Structure 1
Amino acid sequence: MGIVFGLTIMKVKTPKFRVRSATFETINVTSPSFHMKMYAEIGVKNPNFGPYKFHNTTVNFYYGETLFGSANIPKSKAGLKTTKKFNVTVDLIAPTSLASNSQFANEVSSGLLPLRSQSNLSGKVELMLIMKKKKSIQMNCTMNVNIKSQQLQDLNCN
């Protein structure tokens, strides 16, 4: 009985950290300017039988290798077997260096803009008030922003 308990309850699994959904508000999407407001829900899913306490971090959103915007996630805790959700506002702004990028201009005019989000979240899972195990999570999500419908499409996180 003790071995089964130890192998199932005391096994620490890696939590998941990802973009869950997003909506958009178009502010300015005219060449060479691009500025859109994104309201995103970020989630930290804890599959463990103890809380996951994590440090603050920043989620960055990129177009290719170009930083488009970022959101701060505060220090917090995801309870046992729960998902801690954060609603963040991100200003997605294209730097002027992209004004001459024909691929960017084509994607904006086609109405589908590929973005990716990246972050690293570190913290500790606490089991039975006696065991603490450090766990770091990498967020790596890809998504397409449908500029015309102001919807998030093809969200994929791994």
Structure 2
Amino acid sequence: MAERREQEKPLAPAIPDKLSPFPPEFISHRRQRCLKCCGCSAALLLILAVTILILMLTIFNVKHPTLEITSVKIDGLDSLSNNTNKNNTNPMLVAGVSIKNPNAASFKFHDAATEVYYDGTLVGEGRAAAGEAGPRRTGRVDILVDLMVGRLVGVSRFESDLERGGLEISMYTRVKGMVKITDVIKRSFVVNITCGVNVDLRSQVVQDRSCTL
């Protein structure tokens, strides 16, 4: 009888390995929320990376400004051709310079200078005040150059050029400045251009001008 009672004794219910206080629906909903949060975070990081890339290729991509000589005027050369320079006044050359800035920040220049050469001899130089070319704009400045008569007439070919009434000179213009996007992203530039100029001594008109960067 004792053996039969032991056989009829009910077995203890199986105990699961892990008991969860939350229903399966809650766990599934929570898992979906985590997946959505991770997806949103990944999307935001991707948008941020694309934005930074666009900024690096556009605004933060600092480009080289360029120069152009827009005009050249000379006053006082008639005194050389007519031998009327009794007051020893120097002829004046005025170079109109345009500075094209392709950047999203201003190009501020602190040194703009022009040197004038005649047959390889430096016969004049001048400087302009500091200035700036605005973002994606073109700034303009006039550089005044005093041409030194003593050096002009001292060149061996001056007499022959005086007889034919023409003067061939070359101009070298240099502008130093900086483009500053932020305190970290900034870049200094030295922009220059060289021009050959043919001047009619009688009319003081620039007949021909060719420039190279």
Question: What range describes the TM-score normalised by the shorter chain of this pair?
Answer: 0.7 to 0.9
Q: Return the structure number with greater strand share.
A: 1
1:105 and 2:105 matched: no
Unaligned segments of structure 1, at least 5 residues: none
When the two chains are superposed, the root-mean-square deviation of aligned CA atoms in Å is 2.7
Alignment equivalent of 2:191, drawn from 137, 141, 157: 137
Matched, 1:39 2:94: yes
Note if contact 1:32-1:96 (Cα within 8 Å) is conserved in structure 2. Answer: no
Structure 2 length-normalised TM: 0.62
TM-score, with structure 1 as normaliser: 0.80
Match of 1:79 among 134, 144, 148: 134
Structure (1/2) with the larger helix percentage? 2
Which structure would you say has the larger Rg?
Answer: 2
- What do the CA deviations read for 1:112-148 (whole angstroms, capped 9, x no partner)? 2111122432221122675211111123222111222
Is the Cα contact below 8 Å between 1:37 and 1:90 reproduced in 2? Answer: yes
Deviation above 6 Å: which 4+ runs of structure 1?
31-34
Q: Aligned residue for 1:11?
A: 61
Residues 14 and 22 from structure 1, CA distance in 2 versus in 1: closer, same or farther, beyond 3 angstroms?
same
Structure 1 residues 105 and 124: alpha-carbon distance in aligned structure 2, compared to 1, 3 A threshold: same
Q: Distance in 2 between matches of 1:6 and 1:49?
A: 12
Do the aligned partners of residues 40 and 93 (structure 1) sit closer, same or farther apart at CA in structure 2, a change above 3 Å counting? same
Q: Return closer, same or farther for 1:52/1:117 CA change in 2, 3 Å cut-off.
A: same
- 1:96: Cα distance to partner? 5.2
Paired-residue identity, %: 25
Higher relative contact order (CA 8 A, sep 6+): 1
